Homo-oligomer: A and B are copies of this chain.
Amino acid sequence: MERYSKNRQAILECLRSTKIHPTAGWILDQLRPAYPSLNLATVYRNLIRLKDDGLIRSMGDIAGEEHFDGDIQPHAHVICTCCGKIADIPLTESIINLMESAGRQTGFEILASQLTGLCPSCSGSENRKE
């Protein structure tokens, strides 16, 4: 039978209850009121553990910080490479087909689709150069 600490459970529930794809630091800030002694290292450790157990997923480093996702169903995101903003996009038939087709072509096990670009705010400012 698997041990399951209060901290780990709280971190998992925190991740599952938000749609913002947070970082370790954000999770710590959320849980501090209820778990005043909770340590950042513990958050990181449990995120790694939850990821290894397949209960959460990492979105990789976005704008310098690793973001996590409590939704392990295959789905898609749009990410702003400038400010790190993340938007969900509905997982349409065409995206599923694309993921499957790319998986067949490359031999990869495709788990997520990330479209990257510039959000409305960043698109105006940063790209007035070319």
**Taking A60-B116, A109-B117, A111-B118 as contacts, is the C-beta distance between A129 and B52 under 8 angstroms?**
yes
Residue A58, interface by CB 8 Å? yes
Closest residue on chain B to residue A57 by CB atoms: B81
B residues within 8 A CB of A123? 108-109
- Determine whether the beta carbon of A115 is less than 8 Å from that of B94: no
Interface locus among A9-17, A34-42, A98-106: A98-106
Residue A2, interface by CB 8 Å? no
How many chain A residues touch the partner (CB < 8 A)? Answer: 43
Report the minimum CB–CB distance from A45 to chain B (whole Å).
Answer: 17
Residue A31, interface by CB 8 Å? no
- Determine whether the beta carbon of A106 is less than 8 Å from that of B87: yes
For the complex, give the distance between the alpha carbons of A92 and B110 in Å: 17
- Determine whether the beta carbon of B54 is less than 8 Å from that of A129: yes
For the complex, give the distance between the alpha carbons of A105 and B112 in Å: 18
Chain A: residues with CB nearer than 8 A to chain B? 52-54, 58, 60-62, 64, 76, 78, 80-81, 87, 89, 92, 94-95, 97-99, 101-103, 105-120, 123, 127, 129-130
